Structure 1
């Protein structure tokens, strides 16, 4: 068999998602030899991001800010300043971060959040590419199994109903069709596309249900990997197994497009999680390996667990080691 020259270049890895899980993986990827592209959700409507999104008419900056910080080589003092959040009693600056305000200012100056992120990427010496999934802010909708619906990412989990499907629209109500520039080409040129970790219905699917983006993930020749969440999430994935996550993804794109799923099998110590801080997470995701195989997935199950500050996280280094084993194995 003829050996490819693949190992002499960086593998092209596209990571799609949002929330707190994405930066963990990106930071570890940055420490390895990878050509990274991060595609970040723009459907957040809560907190500082939601306020700035409404007042400046921009894509929500919070997830983009965290991704910028994770891929930048800026000194710790600069990162602390970029991530600094004003106190609740600071009147009109309450709860805003410096980074969010910088993204808002550049978005207004250039009339484009996409351009703002490209400029900040250069300013902060970002190693990789960061693109919002859409160049316009999107509205997330959820239809529940009881026939009711909710509008807005921050509203979806409140009533703890079973979600039937989610979809995104432009702010004018039109269907979200177009991905941000370079996103589709990055997915098609990738060696691997990684989904997650992150909230299934509010961080991962809001990207995939953008018509162009979902079609690109469904049809790419890249290895598509899903990093399954460790814990179930209140109002989103209560009582879910790992196979349930995959079934939902496949149902939304009407295709069995996930090639490999990474599943944590290490137990979280009983009573470890601090419910005051991590009140949205419930119990560990259960395992259904037969269900995963029925969905056509290769399963990698091992210890991906990292316990920190009363919370449960993926160990980024362990995950990235596995991603590199997969991407090199798939291309030889």
Structure 2
């Protein structure tokens, strides 16, 4: 099965999802990105404290990774102010999206306008247009709120939820309903991969979907409590938190990673010049291998049994 013939939805946040979208940008409107909007750190966090809004940082990152680095638009939206004044540390792209968000009636309109400016053909969608934060619960019941706080937890949370609960948008659900391949990751497990799955209508759409779902593991260990988990422990945690296991196959750079739950494809995905990044050509090859192996394996569940 060739990737270029599939409708693909990639779900996540941060640099990981941006890398996947950049890698598959040749798919244009056959590819849709669904982006986590719970970030509360850095420039994004400061803007969210100023007034209630979704987190714009990961959306901006994904949009700019779909644009040539040498274009004026890319340089403009990636520019970051230095210094210690009010602008210091702010990303200009975040400020533009934030400003548009104050003018437009809904965040999706702001994103469409930026896509037009940057000439991005791939739909990039927020997991929700309503502001929300991550809330993580320790086994004994105490909780932490906010992405930054979650990643700093000394142990894995027992549960993760959105506060407040939010709904997705019809465009996200339609994209999942029409998808033939769903990609999760790479990226921070708790704060990039999981948040969109906590939006109930996104999870329900994935559950009823006939698409195959592939989880891409990180190349280097992440700085969060999830770093201590084995692959099957991560998959079990997902199943316990959203009520089902959406993953059919996993792509891992580490040959020692094994699973009793799903098909694992071991593939060298490391970029030789930037070893902590995925190489685009290798990632495409790994995805193609994984899909073909899933289709050939009679032991794998199909969507209707989820």
Query: Normalising by the residue count of structure 1, what TM-score does the alignment of the two structures yield?
Result: 0.82
What does residue 147 of structure 1 align with? 141
Distance 1:8 1:304, change over 3 A: closer
Any idea what the Cα deviations from partners look like across 1:122-178, whole Å, max 9, x if unmatched?
2211121010000111110001224321011111122422221211022xxxx23x1
CA spacing shift, 1:235–1:322, aligned 2, 3 Å = closer
Secondary structure of 1:194's counterpart equals: strand
CA contact (8 A) 1:143 1:164 kept: yes
Asked if residue 305 in structure 1 is aligned to residue 270 in structure 2, the reply is yes
Q: Does 1:88 align with 2:83?
A: yes
Q: Distance in 1 between matches of 2:16 and 2:223?
A: 16
Give me the whole-angstrom Cα distance separating, in 2, the residues matched to 1:46 and 1:9. Answer: 36
Deviation at 1:324, TM superposition (A): 3.4
C-alpha distance in 1 between matches for 2:83 and 2:35:
27
Q: Which residue of 2 aligns with 1:227?
A: 216
Residue 261 of structure 1 aligns to a residue in which SS? strand
Partner of 2:6: 11
Structure 1: tracts of 5 or more residues without a match = 1-5, 267-285
1:157 aligns with 2:151: yes
Is 1:248 aligned with 2:237? yes
Asked whether the 8 Å contact 2:251–2:290 carries over to 1, the reply is no
CA pair 79-181 structure 1, distance change in 2 beyond 3 A: same
Preserved CA contact (<8 Å) 1:17 1:40: yes
Q: Give 2:253's aligned residue.
A: 264
Alpha carbons of structure 1 residues 119 and 143: separation in structure 2 relative to 1, 3 Å? same
Q: CA deviation at 1:74?
A: 7.3
Task: Provide the residue aligned with 1:196 in structure 2.
Answer: 185
Q: Distance in 2 between matches of 1:185 and 1:201?
A: 25
Aligned length: 296
1:70 matched to 2:62? The reply is no
Distance in 1, matches of 2:7 and 2:291, equals 9
CA-to-aligned-CA distance 1:89-128 (integer Å, 9 cap, x gap): 2x11111111111101111110322210111112211121
Distance 1:85 1:190 in 2: 35
Within-5 A mapping of 1:1-332: 10-31=5-26, 35-73=30-68, 75-89=70-84, 91-170=85-164, 175-176=165-166, 178-265=167-254, 287=257, 289=258, 292-293=259-260, 295=261, 297-308=262-273, 312-327=276-291
User: Contact conserved, 1:41 with 1:63, CA < 8 A, in 2?
Assistant: yes
- Unmatched runs of 5 consecutive residues or more in structure 2: 297-306
Give the Cα–Cα distance (whole angstroms) in 2 for the partners of residues 234 and 261 of structure 1: 21
SS of 1:312's equivalent in the other structure is coil
- SS of the equivalent of 2:201 reads helix
Shift of residue 319, structure 1, vs aligned partner: 1.4
TM-score (norm 2): 0.88
CA gap of 1:238–1:146, structure 2 versus 1, over 3 A, is farther
2-structure distance, mates of 1:33, 1:256: 29
Q: Distance in 2 between matches of 1:259 and 1:8?
A: 16
2:150 match: secondary structure: coil
Counterpart of 1:313 in 2: which secondary structure?
coil
Do the aligned partners of residues 154 and 308 (structure 1) sit closer, same or farther apart at CA in structure 2, a change above 3 Å counting?
farther
CA deviation profile, 1:180-224 (whole Å, cap 9, x unmatched): 231011001001000010111111111101110111112210010
Farther-moved stretch of structure 1 (312-321 vs 125-134): 312-321
Q: Distance in 2 between matches of 1:238 and 1:107?
A: 35
